[in-house]
Amino acid sequence: MGAIGTQQAAPLKSLEELRRIGEAGPQNEFVKEWKARGEKVVGWLCTYVPEEIIHAAGMLPVRVMGEVGEAKEAEAYLYANTCFFARSCLEVGLKGGYDFLDLLVAGNTCDPIRRLYDVWRHYLSTPTHILSIPHKLSDQGMDFFRGQLQEFQRVIEGIREQPLPEGALRDSIALYNRSRKLLREIYDLRQADPPPLSGAEALEVVRAGWSMPRGRYIELLEELREELK
Return the DSSP state at 67: -
Radius of gyration of the chain (CA): 19
Report the SS3 class of residue 31: helix
Q: What is the pLDDT of residue 9?
A: 56
Q: Are 195 and 9 in contact (CB under 8 A)?
A: no
The model's pTM is 0.90
Q: Which residues are paired to 15 by β-bridges?
A: none
Q: What is the pLDDT of residue 70?
A: 83
Tens of each residue's pLDDT in the chain, 229 residues: 454 443 445 678 999 999 999 999 888 999 999 999 999 999 999 899 999 999 999 999 999 998 888 888 998 999 888 899 999 999 999 999 999 999 999 999 999 999 999 999 999 999 999 999 998 889 999 999 999 999 999 999 999 999 999 999 999 999 999 999 999 999 999 999 999 999 999 999 999 999 999 999 999 999 999 999 8
Q: What is the pLDDT of residue 128?
A: 97
Query: What is the rounded distance in angstroms from the CA atom of residue 96 to the CA atom of residue 138?
Result: 41
Asked if the peptide bond before residue 11 counts as cis, ω within 30 degrees of 0, the response is: no
Q: What is the pLDDT of residue 7?
A: 45
Any residues with CB less than 8 A from the CB of 161 and at least 6 apart, and which? Answer: none
Q: What is the pLDDT of residue 5?
A: 45
Query: What is the rounded distance in angstroms from the CA atom of residue 33 to the CA atom of residue 38?
Result: 9
Q: What is the pLDDT of residue 1?
A: 47
> CA triplet 216, 204, 54: central angle to 5 degrees?
45
Q: What is the pLDDT of residue 6?
A: 39
Query: What is the rounded distance in angstroms from the CA atom of residue 54 to the CA atom of residue 57?
Result: 5
